[in-house]
A and B are shown apart, each in its own frame.
Chain A
Amino acid sequence: MTSNDTKGRTLPVTDLSLVVLIGASGSGKSTFARRHFKPTEVISSDFCRGLVADDENDQSASGDAFDVLHYIAGKRLAAGRRTVVDATSVQQESRKQLVELAKKYDVLPIAIVLDVPEEVCAERNAAREDRAGMPRRVIQRHIRELRRSLRHLEREGFRKVHILRGVEEIESAEIRTEKRFNDLTHLTGPFDIIGDIHGCGSELELLLGKLGYVDGVHPEGRTAVFVGDLVDRGPDSPGVLRRVMSMVASGDALCVPGNHENKYGRHLKGRKVQHTHGLAETIEQMEGQSEEFKKQVREFIDGLVSHYVLDGGRLVVCHAGLPEKYHGRTSGRVRSHALYGDTTGETDEFGLPVRYPWAEEYRGRAAVVYGHTPVPTATWLNNTICLDTGAVFGGKLTALRWPERELVDVPAERVWYEPTKPLRTEAPGGHDGRPLDLADVHGRRVVETRHAGRVSVREENAAAALEVMSRFAVDPRLLPYLPPTMAPTATSRVEGYLEHPAEAFAQYAADGVARVVCEEKHMGSRAVALVCRDADAARERFGVDGPTGSLYTRTGRPFFDDPAVTEEILGRVRSAVTEAGLWEELATDWVLLDAELMPWSLKASGLLRSQYAAVGAASGAVFPGAVAALEGAAARGVDVQDLLVKQRERAADAAAFTEAYRRYCWTTSGLEGVRLAPFQILAVQGRSLAALPHDEQLALIDRFVSSDASGLLQTTRRLFVDTADPDSVRAGVDWWLEMTGRGGEGMVVKPVNAVVRWGSPRSSEAESGGGEGRLVQPGIKCRGREYLRVIYGPEYTRPENLDRLRGRFLNHKRSLAIREYALGLEALDRLAEGEPLWRVHEAVFGVLALESEPVDPRL
Chain B
Amino acid sequence: MPDFSGEVRCTLCTVPDGGAPDFRSSEAVLKDVSRQTTVFLTISTNGTPERPATDLGFLLHKHPDKAQAFSTSYGKAHVLYPEASPERCTAALLLEVDAVALVRRGKGKGRGGAPDAALAQYVNDRPYAASSLLAVALSSVFSSAMKGTCHARPELPEQARPLRIEVPALPARGGAELVRNLFEPLGWTVTAEPVALDAEFPEWGESRYVSLVLEGELRLAEALRHLYVLLPVLDDAKHYWVATDEVDKLLRAGEGWLPEHPEHKLITSRYLSRRWSLTRQAMERLELVRLAEADDSDVEEIDNAIDETQDTDEKPVPLAVRRRDAIVEALRAAGAGRVLDLGCGQGQLVQELLKDIRFTEIVGVDVSMRALTIASRRLKLERMGERRAERVKLMQGSLAYTDTRLKGYDAAVLSEVIEHVDLPRLSALEYAVFGSARPRTVLVTTPNVEYNVRWETLPAGHVRHGDHRFEWTREEFRTWARAVAERHGYDVEFVPVGPEDPEVGPPTQMAVFTIFTTKAAKEEKAA
Residues of A at under 8 Å CB distance from B? 346, 348, 357, 360-361, 429, 431-432, 435-442, 460-461, 463-472, 474-476, 485, 525, 544, 546-547, 553-555, 557, 563, 600-601, 603-626, 628-633, 636-640, 643, 646-647, 650, 654, 658, 662, 665, 667, 790-796, 800-802, 804-805, 807-809, 811-813, 848, 851-858
Contact = CB atoms under 8 A, between A and B. Distances in A.
Given A467-B305, A618-B209, A852 B290 contact: yes
Interface stretch (B76-84, B144-152, B257-265): B76-84
A554 B297 CA distance: 11
B291 A805 contact: no
Complex A-B, nearest 4 residue pairs according to Cβ-Cβ distance, in ascending order = A632-B82, A464-B287, A604-B296, A618-B128
Given A435-B401, A854-B111, A638 B290 contact: no
B99 interface: yes
B124 interface: yes
Contact of B115 (A624, A626, A856): A856
Interface residues of B, number: 103
Nearest to B286: A854
Contacts of A357: 435
A639 B425 contact: no
Nearest to A856: B114
B123 to A, nearest CB: 6
B396 A470 contact: no
Nearest to B29: A804
Contact of A854 (B110, B128, B301): B110
Contacts of B114: 809, 812-813, 854-856
B198 interface: yes
B209 A621 contact: yes
A611 B125 contact: yes
Contacts of B205: 609
Contacts of B286: 854
A346 B517 contact: yes
A607 B424 contact: no
B67 interface: yes
B288 A437 contact: no
Given A467-B368, A619-B128, A851 B290 contact: yes
A809 B201 CA distance: 36
Interface string B275-298: 000000000011110110111111
A650 B35 CA distance: 9
B525 interface: no
B196 interface: yes
B198 A857 contact: no
A407 B171 CA distance: 68
Q: Which of B125, B294, B295, B297 has the most CB of A within 10 A?
A: B295
A792 B122 contact: yes
B301 to A, nearest CB: 6
A563 B470 CA distance: 14
Q: Which of B115, B120, B286, B430 has the most CB of A within 10 A?
A: B115
A720 to B, nearest CB: 30
A460 B430 CA distance: 27
Contacts of A613: 197-198, 201, 204, 207
A805 to B, nearest CB: 5
Contacts of A525: 295-296
Given A662-B198, A793-B33, A463 B82 contact: no
B33 A848 contact: no
B166 interface: yes
Nearest to A795: B35
17 contacts: A348-B489, A437-B403, A442-B397, A464-B287, A466-B398, A467-B398, A600-B296, A613-B198, A621-B211, A632-B82, A636-B84, A800-B34, A851-B294, A855-B114, A856-B115, A857-B118, A857-B119
Contacts of B436: 360, 435
Q: Majority SS of interface residues in chain B?
A: mixed
B200 interface: yes
Contact of B80 (A469, A640, A808): A640
Given A629-B40, A633-B80, A470 B399 contact: yes
A603 B297 contact: yes
B33 A796 contact: yes
Contact of B94 (A619, A629, A855): A629
Contacts of A620: 195
Contacts of B33: 792-793, 795-796, 801-802, 804-805
Contacts of A796: 33, 35
B81 A638 contact: yes
A791 B367 contact: no
B403 A438 contact: yes
B402 A438 contact: yes
A607 B297 contact: yes
B367 A470 contact: yes
Given A440-B401, A622-B168, A643 B67 contact: yes
Given A346-B517, A613-B198, A638-B81, A554 B38 contact: no
Q: Which of A554, A622, A636 has the most CB of B within 10 A?
A: A622
A649 B353 CA distance: 62
B122 A793 contact: yes
Nearest to A482: B294
B340 to A, nearest CB: 14
Contacts of A853: 290
B203 interface: yes
Nearest to A354: B489
B118 A467 contact: no
Contacts of A804: 30-34
B396 A463 contact: yes
B113 interface: yes
A619 B128 CA distance: 6
Given A557-B295, A638-B67, A794 B35 contact: yes
Given A612-B123, A629-B94, A856-B110, 10 more contacts: A431-B427, A471-B421, A474-B424, A525-B296, A554-B294, A617-B196, A793-B99, A800-B34, A852-B291, A854-B111
B290 A857 contact: yes
A633 B205 CA distance: 35
Contacts of B173: none
A469 B403 CA distance: 16
Contact of B31 (A554, A662, A807): A807
Nearest to B207: A617
B288 A614 contact: no
A790 B291 contact: no
Nearest to A607: B296
Contacts of A607: 293, 296-298
B116 interface: yes
A494 to B, nearest CB: 17
Contacts of B431: 429, 432, 435
A232 to B, nearest CB: 29
B369 A463 contact: yes
Nearest to A563: B424
B66 interface: yes
B113 A809 contact: yes
A429 B435 contact: yes
Contact of A626 (B38, B111, B203, B305): B38
B197 A647 contact: no
Q: Which of B35, B287, B404 has the most CB of A within 10 A?
A: B287
A384 B200 CA distance: 59
A525 B293 CA distance: 12
Interface string B392-433: 000011111111110000000000000011001101101110
A179 to B, nearest CB: 33
Given A470-B398, A629-B90, A618 B169 contact: yes
Interface in B109-155: 109-120, 122-125, 128-129
Contacts of A637: 65
A125 to B, nearest CB: 46
B166 to A, nearest CB: 7
A437 B287 contact: no
A848 B398 CA distance: 16
A625 B168 CA distance: 7
A621 B287 contact: no
Interface in B346-360: none
